Structures are given as C-alpha cells and as structure tokens.
Amino acid sequence: MPPLLPLVELEADILILGAGGAGLLAALHATTINPRTKILIAVKGLLGQSGCTRMVQGGYNCVLNPNDSFEKHFEDTIKGGQFVNNQDLAWALVNDSPDRILELENKCGCLFDRNPDGTIHQKPFAGQSFDRTVHKGDLTGIEIMANLRDWTLEQENITVLQETRGLDLLTDTNGKVVGALLLNNRKGEFVSVKAKATLVATGGGATMYQISSPSLEKAGDGMGMAFRVGAEFIDMEMMQFHPTGLLVGKSIATGGLLEEGLRGAGARLFNKDGERYMERYSPDKMERATRDVVSRSSYMEIMAGRGTPSGGVLIDATHMGEKFLLDNFRGMVDRCREYGFDLLHSRVEVSPSAHYHMGGIRIDLNCKSNIDGLFAAGEDSGGVHGGNRLGGNGVADSIVFGARAGDAMAEYIRTAKAPGDVSTQARQLMEKWLAPLNREGGENPFKLRDQLERVMWRKAGVVRNGKDMAEAIPEIIEIREKIEQANGAGAPIYNAPWNEMINTVNLGVCAELLTRSAILREESRGAHYRQDFPEKNVKWLKNITVKPVNGDLKWDTVPVKFTRLKPPELIEQEKSLVH
C-alpha cells in the first residue's frame, strides 16, 4: 500500500491555480470588486519567483502614443496570427491593455522606463507597425512580478500556498468544477480546496520540447487538469518557437532567450559561413520579421548544413556599441557573461526554442470554459493569438485576461452555490497520485520525459510533415502509458521523480493534442509549418477544436468569424466570385 499522506481540507470563494501575471491580476480584480472575497492561490514554486511572467525580458504591448491606435495594434495582432485569431478576444486584448499598464503603475507600484518628457517609453518589436512595447530595460517581468507579489502579500483576503501544485480538478455530480486537489511539496501533504469558481493560470506546455524557454516548473498542468474534466481546446497545433534561445550545451540554461527587442533594435543573424541569411527569407523585414518566419529560417539554415557545430546560428549585436547594449540590454549582457559568452564583443550561438503555446482551453470574453465553474487565462487559454503571437503580446494577454477572469469570477460567485462535500472524490484521486510513491520497478520518469522532448522536437517541431507526425503519435501514446506506471518511489516531501512523473503525465496530454491537431491542419500558417503542405490555404481559415468525450477525442473545425478584419486572400476570393 502507498504511504498515507495528510489531507488538508480548505474552502474559498475563488481558487486560482498559478501565480503569474494572469493569476495575480485575477486576484487583484476580484479583490477590488469585493475585498471580502476569500481567495486561495496555489503556486507551484515561490510567489513572485517562479513562472513565466517573471521571465519576460522584452515588454508589454499597448497603445499609449496618440500617433498609434487600437486599430493598428489589432491589425498587427491579426496579421501576426495569420487571421485565425478569435477577433473578439484579440480586440479585448488591444482595448484593455492600456488601462492595465496604468493600473500596474498606479495601483501596484510598477515603474516602467520613461522618455525625457516623463511619458512611458515604448520600444520596437518585430511584427509591429508602431513602437508600442512598454518595458523596464530588459527585465520587465521582474518589475511586474515583484510589485504584484508585494501587493498580494498585503491583502488579508488572499491565502497563498507556495510550492503547491494542482493535481486534478474536483467536480460535482453535474460535472461542474468545484475546486481542486493540490499537492503541497513543502509539507508532503495533499490539500483539497472547495471553491465556487476555479481559475487555471498555470502556464503552457512548451517544455514538451528538447529546447525550450519557459521556467523549468512549467508542464502544462492546467491544460492536463482541464482535459481530464472534459474541457474543450482550440489551436493546439500552434506552438511558437522563439528564434533566439541560447545554446549552452547540456545545461538546463539551453533554450533561455535573448529577447525580441535585441533584434528589434538591430541585432543581426548569421550562419556559420558568415552569411546574413534573413536576406534569403524575408528581405524586406530581415531580422524584424515575425517569430515564426525567423525561427523557421534559422531552422532551415541549420538543416541545410549551414548551422554551427552545436546546431545553431549566430546573433551579432556588436555593431550597436557597448554603451547602447549596457543601457538597454544589461540583463542579456549579464546572462550571456554568466554562460561564458560576450554579447558586447562577439557573436553568440542561438537556436529556435519552444516558447509559447498559442493553443489552449477555449474561452469566451469572460475567460469561461465550456465547463461550469472553470475559468482559464494566460497561456492555459487559446484563441487570442491565432497562428503566431507577437512579442510583447504575451504578458499583455496574461494581464488583460487575468483581470477579465477576476472580474467575471467576482460576478459569478455572487449567485453560485457553495460546493457540497468533495472529500470522497479527493481521497479517490489521492490514491491515484499516491501509487507511484510505493511502486517497485517501473520506468524512470526523467528518461520518459527526455524521450517525449526528443520525439516532439524531431517529429512535431519547427518544421513538420505528415509522415513524421504520424510516426510520433504511437510513440507519444506509449510514453503516456508508461508514465502512468513510472517509478516515483520515495518520501513525499520534494520528491523529484514523483513530480517529474506528474509533469510528464500533463505534458503527454499536451503533446498528443498538439500532434493530432497538427496532422489535421493540411497547410502552413503562422507557427505551423508543414513541408508537405508549404502554402497557406484559404480553405483552412478555420480553428481546430478538440475535447474528450466518453474516453475518446471529439475533433471539429470551426470557420473563423471575421468580426473586424478579413484576410486579403478571402477578399480576393470573394472578388473573383463576383466577377
């Protein structure tokens, strides 16, 4: 029998899983509406010190300059997303983001870089028609999260469980989500939380790839939990690869980013032969092309044998000068120096790095999923960015939709009934997750995680084809089956193999949904590039959705609603039909 662990039973009005920008803005907004709202936040790491919002280097896109406009930001976002964005969600992102940046400054104490006249400075980012990226040097995420952490700790109505991960969502007899079962790694105990509304904001699953940039604890946990209760997903084939992840050998630092602003400011990319290869792929925009274009171009150079011996390309910022780099990109200069690279005086080796999942749980404008009581925001949700996310729109997404989730949950709980008893369900789920602790034999979860990362990188990565992805599916299924029986033996406190087993269970869900969705989309669009279907196809101006039904996967294709902006190819097609 597995060891018996304590079960702590708690109650809250709102349960928030994840404490990045989305989770903490949800707490801020719900508290602002009603300071007596009882909120419980579970964060997998340390509050303010973990997650991907803290890692944001570049900045936050919003319209502040009178020469800019919502329409310009919206058009950039839709064009970047290759017109498969949910346009209502994208408009909400654009419309809300200025208010949220002012809220971060005036309510939470963030202070972003200024122009000489005192206005907020905005820098250029790739894929944008106007310089609209708000930042704090190249350490924007730290500025946001440090102040959000301090605000959170000051609130009497908010309880934070640190080093506590979500395991499974709890549901009532009607399938409504009424809380979650958590694992407190610090204490080695289970926590059952009953809540009227639950938000998943745990971040995405880009760490399913061999080279990736997110914080190490990210594992698609929210998506895995939501999948197991029947949530619907959208755009799962759309995984963004950032063009410039550092290559640091076998170190866990490999994949960490040199941010978008470096290329926006003029850094150049070269292959091993010294060719500035973006001239071949995007002669008009060069290194300031969108992330999907630059990542794919770099990958093709490497595959053509023009990469470095370590399988990368080279970024060069030396022509920009020491003073400019130290004034604007000190964080990156210091990061490179820590790993033995000199960004000031030499070229640095980089590679495409899995970065951000545009796909996720399908939500409406209020961040509601198809499951009653379950909300999603940030990278756990999908639809905002379509086929490709613009740099600077990611943290804006988390902040904007975290705030919207907080507003919506505050309204939802006014009339929601308190959940009934969930202790029996919680203890049944405990038994499932306890089993690996006392398992003799079983495969090594770290090896299975490594196997999954390699399969995804080779067969469903930057450049894809139907044959490779079809071969990947049985491999992913085999890994998913084996990880359920993996060995997590040991004590429950800070048990690394046990946690890696849980991580891989969730990443396996994300990997299978992504690969099957990518097989269905027989075209190339945004971050989804297929060698066997290298062109965009107007017939694929659709979103792919999937949800589990009775143990199977139900797939659908949904035509995009062009509520504000039509794609040029559709306009041309309509003209040809008229004539």
Count of structural domains, the chain: 2
In this structure, is residue 463 part of a structural domain? Answer: yes
pLDDT digits (tens, 9 = 90+) for 201-247: 999 999 999 999 888 899 999 999 999 999 999 999 999 999 999 99
In this structure, is residue 324 part of a structural domain? Answer: yes
Contact 533, 522 (CB under 8 A): yes
Q: Which of 355, 376, 401 is the last residue of a domain?
A: 355
Q: Catalytic residue among 242, 268, 357, 528, which?
A: 242
**511 vs 505: CA distance, rounded Å:** 10
Q: What is the pLDDT of residue 442?
A: 87
Q: Which of 355, 371, 400 is the last residue of a domain?
A: 355
In this structure, is residue 61 part of a structural domain? Answer: no
Both tokens of 364, joined, read: 């409406």
Q: What is the pLDDT of residue 265?
A: 87
Q: What is the pLDDT of residue 3?
A: 52
Interval 277-283 mean pLDDT: 93
Q: What is the pLDDT of residue 27?
A: 98
In this structure, is residue 485 part of a structural domain? Answer: yes
Residues 351 and 259 in one domain: yes
In this structure, is residue 518 part of a structural domain? Answer: yes
Buried b / exposed e along 191-230 (16+ C-beta atoms within 10 A): bbbbbbbbbbbbbbbbbbbbbbbbbebbbbbbbbbbbbbb
Interval 54-67 mean pLDDT: 91
* CA of residue 152 relative to chain centroid, distance: 22
CATH number at residue 340: 3.90.700.10
- Please determine, for residue 264, whether its predicted confidence score (pLDDT) is greater than 90: no
**268 vs 430: CA distance, rounded Å:** 52
Both tokens of 7, joined, read: 């079960």
Percent of the chain exceeding pLDDT 70 equals: 99
Q: What is the pLDDT of residue 4?
A: 67
Q: What is the pLDDT of residue 364?
A: 98
HEC per residue, 481-493? HHHCCCCCCCCCC
Q: Quote the domain boundaries for residue 333.
A: 243-355
- Beta strands 39-42 and 177-184 are unpaired
Interval 384-405 mean pLDDT: 96
pLDDT digits (tens, 9 = 90+) for 78-93: 999 999 999 999 999 9
- Please determine, for residue 339, whether its predicted confidence score (pLDDT) is greater than 80: yes
In this structure, is residue 80 part of a structural domain? Answer: no
- Please determine, for residue 289, whether its predicted confidence score (pLDDT) is greater than 90: no
Q: Which of 337, 355, 373 is the last residue of a domain?
A: 355
The DSSP call for residue 257 is B
Q: What is the pLDDT of residue 1?
A: 45
Nearest to residue 473, comparing CAs of 487, 454, 484, 459? 459
Helices (DSSP H) in 34-137: which residue ranges?
70-80, 87-106
Query: Is 242 one of the catalytic residues?
Result: yes
CATH number at residue 506: 1.20.58.100
Interval 501-521 mean pLDDT: 98
Q: How confident is the model at residue 292 (pLDDT cuts 50, 70, 90)?
A: confident
- Please determine, for residue 2, whether its predicted confidence score (pLDDT) is greater than 70: no
Q: Which residue has the tokens 């300071």?
A: 35
Query: Is 29 one of the catalytic residues?
Result: no
**420 vs 172: CA distance, rounded Å:** 8
Q: What is the pLDDT of residue 256?
A: 87
Report helix angle 496-520 to 221-228, nearest 10. 70
In this structure, is residue 179 part of a structural domain? Answer: no
Q: What is the pLDDT of residue 125?
A: 83
Percent of the chain exceeding pLDDT 90 equals: 84
In this structure, is residue 492 part of a structural domain? Answer: yes
Nearest to residue 392, comparing CAs of 10, 153, 40, 73? 73
pLDDT digits (tens, 9 = 90+) for 418-453: 999 999 999 999 999 999 998 888 899 999 999 999
In 3-state terms, what secondary structure has residue 371? coil
HEC per residue, 403-451? HHHHHHHHHHHHHCCCCCCCHHHHHHHHHHHHHHHHCCCCCCHHHHHHH
Both tokens of 560, joined, read: 């995009």
Q: Catalytic residue among 29, 54, 165, 263, which?
A: 263
| Whole-number Cα distances in Å, 342 to 71, 309, 349, 422, 549 | 40, 18, 11, 56, 53
Mean pLDDT of the chain: 94
